[in-house]
Amino acid sequence: MPRELGRVRLVGAGPGAADLLTVRALRAIEGAQALLYDALVAEEVLALAPAACLKIQTGKRAGRTSMKQETINRLMLRLARRGLEVVRLKGGDPSIFGRVGEEVAFLQAHGVATEVVPGVTAASAAAAQFGFPLTHRGEARRLLVATATTQDGAMTAEGWAAAADAETTLALYMGRDQIGGVAERLIAHGRAPDTAAIAVENAGRPDARAIPARLADLGAALATAGPSGPVVVIVGDVAGHAAASAWSDPAAQQRARA
């Protein structure tokens, strides 16, 4: 008699802290028999899985060697065919630059049941942690979530006009090493050079760090700060509402007054 197929849940681990998991995500992790997790998932989240759970690190961190997507797909399928409850654990929200569409399509094409469990994304975590809104009456009517690079790592060629709109908050993912070019593109398309901006490293974690600056100075600010962790960049007037702690660095204060 053929073995019954297992199920794959694609779960958002949030920005790091275990207490930012949704209840549904927590239950999925606690019930996992196999856990395929990305490099940015915190140890305290991984510790919630059962002791007997098979844990496999799949990488998926920008700029570093990681398991190929095709390999991850085949691994999820193989585990599901063994009848296991599989959790594919992704940092943040799986639907935001998490390749969840590709993985769901592959699994469903092979007859595997899937479920997507959302998670707190880095932009939301950064805003909550450093005391600014992502939208604000009279300042930001819309939120644009974007990435600075294409699949092959080149700078995105289109979409800058929408991102340059003064009433749009831009939440930029995977742009840490491209931020100088990003600022130039936004300014060239009409965004004011003195627009408030803030880069947040390790958003949602205890070691999170805010790097605030005017848009024109953001590239230099990041180069000076030298962040090594994942960075989300928020561009827009809302970034000017960041709590005083975000602006406590004297150099940041000087950039803001300039």
Q: Which of 60, 90, 217, 237 is catalytic?
A: 60
Packing angle, helices 218-225 and 179-188, rounded to 10: 170
DSSP letters, the chain, are -PPPP-EEEEEE-BTS-GGGS-HHHHHHHHT-SEEEEETTS-HHHHTTS-TT-EEEEEE--TTS----HHHHHHHHHHHHHTT-EEEEEESB-TTTTS-HHHHHHHHHHTT-EEEEE----HHHHHHHHHT--SSBTTTBSEEEEEESB-TTSPBP-S-HHHHT-TTEEEEEES-GGGHHHHHHHHHHTT--TT-EEEEEETTTSTT-EEEEEEGGGHHHHHHHH---S-EEEEESGGGGG--GGGG-SHHHHHHHH-
38 is catalytic: yes
All residues at 6 or more sequence positions from 245 whose CB lies less than 8 Å from its CB, including other chains: 130, 131, 210
237 is catalytic: no
Contact 238, 139 (CB under 8 A): yes
Q: Which of 38, 93, 165, 237 is catalytic?
A: 38
- Which positions are annotated as active-site residues? 38, 60
